[in-house]
Amino acid sequence: MSALGALSGGAAGVAGLLSLRRRAAPPPSGLASSPHLPPLKRTVVPDAGQLVWGRQLRPALLPAALLPAQPARRHTLRPPAAAAEEAKPAGFFDKYPALVTGFFFFMWYFLNVIFNILNKKIYNYFPYPYFVSLIHLVVGVVYCLISWSVGLPKRAPINSTLLKLLFPVALCHALGHVTSNVSFAAVAVSFAHTIKALEPFFNAAATQFVLGQQVPLSLWLSLAPVVIGVSMASLTELSFNWTGFINAMISNISFTYRSIYSKKAMTDMDSTNVYAYISIISLIVCIPPALIFEGPKLMQHGFSDAIAKVGLQKFVTDLFLVGLFYHLYNQLATNTLERVAPLTHAVGNVLKRVFVIGFSIIVFGNRITTQTGIGTTIAIAGVAMYSYIKAKIEEEKRKKSA
């Protein structure tokens, strides 16, 4: 609009100037040619735009014949920043947000199922969970270092204060990760995940008795089916052994305390950088127990037996892929949480466990009794009920605080 205004104003100025020249009488030839007289000055004409006593502020308004020769200038009309933003077409992520969120959920489930299946297949020919847990973290840390080196994301600085806050979180993360893998190696994947469904019970207990925060009665009642279902599944589980059961319970406790310390270690750092630093600290924590408990056996016959069964290339490839899937599914879980409400994420987490249990039974052909199947179903239903009630309570708290 400003460019059109300038052009219309220029046209009016030229028209006014031409009419002025037609109406003005020519000066006497003697006066016009006398060198002792000052040059003739013209009055201001309203229609002539920017003409002031014979001097023009905008030369482009005069006819070209009256102007001295000037080098040509190239003028480029640039739209305002706001107009440029409005003209920019919407990207795929902005155009189809529901489709993108659905893709995040799909990849989260897919990577988690693939991780659990590949992880169990490795334990079938390489039963060393401490070392495999270490490899999970090694691959994840390498992934984080490469991401930092290319600036995706940019590495956040860390100091001794942040390290002190993150160390308890990383310690609980390492303990929960190792004990989970010991359980996965000892019992069927479906049964290990059924036991891990008890994690909300330990969360509620820690909130009530450790943090001193009152847990509503409705939450406690929703946990009753979880406890009953896990008990039913454990009594008739064909792969049951105490090593798998106890380590799964320790994993529940460890991840519960990880949640507690995470709340105390709230920082301004983004979740990707926080998870990267936790992975690095957890890796350092996991090295000593892996060397102490499994180092001698690995050097004697562990590696050689695995290579003899599947070959060196498959052995190395399996370890690399299982570590990559472990890191990516945890990262996708975080990214999905950032896109949806806590209630949606909680329900999605329950459905993820259903997918893992179902696919593991199909892939490995695990035989389960009717009571185990019923108990697993009751436990998962209880977790879904607990997650729904808790998310609703948290949502009401946020609305009141807002």
Output the pLDDT for position 71. 56
Sign of the dihedral defined by the CA atoms of residues 210, 226, 350, 175, in that order: positive
Q: How far apart are CA 320 and CA 128, in angstroms?
A: 15
Within its chain, how far is the Cα of 175 from the centroid?
Answer: 25
Output the pLDDT for position 93. 64
- For residue 42, give the DSSP letter: P
Residue with tokens 């050097």: 299
Helix (H) or strand (E) holding 224: helix 217-236
Output the pLDDT for position 260. 83
Reference 48, options 69, 26, 23, 74; nearest CA is 23
Q: How far apart are CA 259 and CA 323, in angstroms?
A: 23
Output the pLDDT for position 361. 87
Residue 325 backbone dihedrals phi, psi, to 5 degrees: -65, -35
Output the pLDDT for position 33. 46
Residue with tokens 């600085």: 157
The structural domains of the chain, with segments of one domain joined by +, span: 99-400
Helix (H) or strand (E) holding 51: strand 51-52
Q: E-strand spans in 47-141?
A: 51-52, 55-56
Q: How far apart are CA 285 and CA 171, in angstroms?
A: 7
Q: Residue 251: what residue type?
A: S
Q: Mapping DSSP to helix (H, G, I), strand (E, B) and coil, where does residue 78 land?
A: coil
Residue with tokens 């454990």: 234
Burial of 401 by CB count in 10 Å (0-12 exposed, 13-18 middle, 19+ buried)? Answer: exposed
Q: How far apart are CA 121 and CA 286, in angstroms?
A: 22
Residue 51 backbone dihedrals phi, psi, to 5 degrees: -100, 120
pTM of the model: 0.71
Q: Mapping DSSP to helix (H, G, I), strand (E, B) and coil, where does residue 55 land?
A: strand
Q: For residue range 306-323, what is the model confidence (pLDDT) as tens digits?
A: 999 999 999 999 999 999
pLDDT beneath 50, residues of the chain: 1-25, 28-35, 37, 40-62, 76-77, 81-83, 85
Cis peptide bond upstream of 127, omega within 30? no
